[in-house]
Structure 1
Amino acid sequence: MTSELSVTEAIQIAAQAADAKGGSELIALDVSQPLPFVDAFLIVTGRNERNVIAIAGEVEDKLNEAGVKTKRREGRAGGRWVLLDFGSVVVHVFHDEERSYYDLERLWKDCPQIEITLPEPVSITQ
């Protein structure tokens, strides 16, 4: 990573940012064994194109604020599959249809998952 953050810390920041914008089905995978150029993937689903773009924007903003600079960004205009490359961490934000079609979890099924800790949802009781 280009900052003082570990890969796990960067994944946590990205996951919390995605969750804050309504991202769902978050899965983080340790892909460091099969891939020499990246350590982890975070895969997120958005409800629609606008949501995918909002999630990707929030993830990028929060990681950049934490000192992790974006190396490459693809697919933001279409809002169907946005790929954010931060070097050691790559974030894939999918529209639900593309997530099902490309099924990255199946492709990388032999890679261990990285635990993600998200804030508990706030419940409003009357």
Structure 2
Amino acid sequence: MDNKEVIEVVAKACDDKQAEDIVALNMQDVSLMADYFLICHGSNERQVQAIARAIKESMDETDIHVKRMEGFEQARWILVDLNDIVCHIFHKDERNYYNLERLWGDASRVDLHIAGNRS
């Protein structure tokens, strides 16, 4: 499975848990830390944790190893490291504050094929 296919699987897992404003950024030309960022948010801590769990479960089903998950207990900003893909699951307040899309504004957006991308 290539990275674009993995991004779609991750985005679907997020969408299944009603993650809002799911955005994927192609970081290959702007950063050495990852090829892609996936960014989304939930409206409360429990939803943020549910989104992170869904990502982990979807990766387990496709035999992709989650290298690291940070911030799960506080559930204000959970980072899921999938090696070439880094998922940022924010609480809505933190997403507005950190605004990674603006910070990494030079990165191009990846078209995601998910049904209900809420914003």
Query: What's the TM-score bracket when you normalise by the shorter of the two chains?
Result: over 0.9
Unaligned runs of 5+ in 1: 122-126
Task: Classify the secondary structure of the residue corresponding to 1:113.
Answer: strand
Contact residue 15 and residue 116 of structure 2 kept, 8 A = no
Selected match of 1:75 from 62, 71, 74: 71
Task: Classify the secondary structure of the residue corresponding to 1:69.
Answer: coil
Give the distance between the partners of 1:95 and 1:78, measured in 2 at CA.
Answer: 10
Task: Determine the structure 2 residue equivalent to 1:65.
Answer: 61
Task: Determine the structure 2 residue equivalent to 1:114.
Answer: 110
Task: Determine the structure 2 residue equivalent to 1:124.
Answer: none
Give the distance between the partners of 1:99 and 1:36, measured in 2 at CA.
Answer: 22
> Taking every aligned residue pair, what percent have the same amino acid on both sides?
37
Indicate the structure (1 or 2) with the bigger Cα radius of gyration: 1
* Stretch of structure 1 that moved more, 60-69 or 86-95: 60-69
- Indicate yes or no: 2:92 matched with 1:96: yes
Give the distance between the partners of 1:100 and 1:34, measured in 2 at CA.
Answer: 22
Aligned length: 117
Give the distance between the partners of 1:44 and 1:61, measured in 2 at CA.
Answer: 17
Task: Classify the secondary structure of the residue corresponding to 2:96.
Answer: helix
Give the distance between the partners of 1:64 and 1:39, measured in 2 at CA.
Answer: 20
Give the distance between the partners of 1:110 and 1:34, measured in 2 at CA.
Answer: 7
CA drift at 1:64? 2.2
What value does the CA root-mean-square deviation take over the aligned residues?
1.3
- Indicate yes or no: 2:27 matched with 1:31: yes
CA drift at 1:120? 5.6
Unaligned runs of 5+ in 2: none
- Indicate yes or no: 2:9 matched with 1:13: yes
